[in-house]
Amino acid sequence: MTGLPTIRPAGENDASAIAEIYAPYVLETAITFETEPPSVGVMAERISKTLETHPWLVAYRNGEIIAYAYANKHRERAAYRWTVDVTVYVRGAARGGGVGQTLYRSLLEVLRRQGFRSAFAEIVLPNTGSVRLHETAGFKALGVHKDIGFKLGHWHDIGYWRLALAEGSTPPTEPVPFSVFRVTKAFTDIL
């Protein structure tokens, strides 16, 4: 597969393709600590719930979804509302071709324009590909939690990375919910 993919917001109708991309990560790797692949229905619910406030984007080429990336709340308490956790998953055959970087550039710009301040990534270690992807996108390593998850017969560490989406000490404005932001010219300018 070559060439840049087309990027658009995900929808519940993409749940099957997204679940298909995610399942091998769940079953064959420790990259995610889920141990059972979510059903298409569960994935559709996750997409729908996320899109109310945060972006969930898909990359597709030749009519096939080859990757997805999304952001979620970092924590539930109100003072965290300017902080997000981000992730990206790429279909096996499309890995290493820049799709993850392309998706992240779009996702992170959407988050900046929505008014978020910090993006965090949790990476199950070792994972040189994900570390490289995040550091190329500008994330900085913060630290490692040792032996935080047990999967596939082993304890795994998680590394934490942060990207500043905004700087300064002025009081922030409220982040614009994605359901509102996605219908603006600012959003269409990104994609």
Residue 138 lies in a domain: yes
Instruction: Please report, for the domain that includes residue 61, its CATH number.
Output: 3.40.630.30
Contact by Cβ (8 Å): 19, 43:
yes
Q: Does residue 121 form part of some domain?
A: yes
Structure tokens, 166: 């905004």
Instruction: Give the pLDDT of residue 169.
Output: 82
Specify the pLDDT at position 93.
Answer: 84
Pairing of strands 64-73, 118-125: unpaired
Q: Cα dihedral angle (23, 24, 26, 31), rounded to 10 degrees?
A: -130
For residue 1, name the pLDDT band (cuts at 50, 70, 90): very low
Residue 184 belongs to a domain = yes
> How confident is the model at residue 2, as a pLDDT?
60
> Can you tell me the distance from the alpha carbon of 77 to that of 130, in angstroms, rounded to the nearest whole number?
28
Asked if 140 and 161 count as a contact pair (C-beta separation under 8 A), the reply is: yes
Q: Which residue has the higher pLDDT, 168 or 158?
A: 158
- The mean predicted confidence, pLDDT, of the chain is 94
Q: Is residue 1 part of a domain?
A: no
Q: For 87-111, what is the mean pLDDT?
A: 93
Assess if residue 115 is contained within a domain.
Answer: yes
- Tens digit of pLDDT for each residue in 169-184? 887 899 999 999 999 8
pLDDT tens column, 49-86: 999 999 999 999 999 999 999 999 999 999 999 999 99
Residue 85, beta-bridge partner list: 72, 120
Query: Which residue segment(s) compose the domain that 183 sits in?
Result: 6-190
- Is residue 177 one of the residues assigned to a domain? yes
Structure confidence by residue, pLDDT tens digits, 16-58: 999 999 999 999 999 999 999 999 999 999 999 999 999 999 9
pLDDT of residue 38: 98
Q: What percentage of residues in the chain have a pLDDT greater than 70?
A: 99
Q: What are phi and psi of 78, to 5 degrees?
A: -55, -40
Q: How many domains does the chain have?
A: 1
Instruction: Please say if the pLDDT value at position 144 is more than 60.
Output: yes
As a whole number of Å, the end-to-end CA separation of the chain is 20
